[in-house]
Amino acid sequence: MATLTLKNVPDDLYQRLKEAAARNRRSLNQEAITRLAAADTRDQRDPEEVLRNLRDRRVSLPPHKQATLEEVDRWKREGRA
């Protein structure tokens, strides 16, 4: 197996990774490998499939949770005032 050395890891990122490793009962190295593998998987998803999934989820929301395009435009304008 290959070896990877990371330099200049920000202290706060290192600490969060270390805490996550402890929560997940993994070594720091294994936690980093697990997260890198998960990130790599996300990058390989088919964009069309992701879009279909999002549309399916939107349709399943209760009607009162769905905003119209006009409402979204109005909220954007109000936020810029």
| 4-28 confidence digits (pLDDT tens) | 999 999 999 999 999 999 999 999 9
Domains of the chain: total: 1
Domain that holds residue 61: 10-81
Evaluate whether residue 34 is within a structural domain.
yes
Asked whether the predicted pLDDT for residue 70 surpasses 70, the reply is yes
Angle in degrees, CA 38, 33, 21, rounded to 5 = 100
Average of per-residue pLDDT across 45-68: 82
Evaluate whether residue 1 is within a structural domain.
no
pLDDT at position 16: 96
pLDDT at position 22: 96
Evaluate whether residue 76 is within a structural domain.
yes
From CA 35, how far away is CA 29, in angstroms rounded?
10
Confidence of residue 44 (pLDDT cuts 50, 70, 90): confident
pTM flag (> 0.75): no
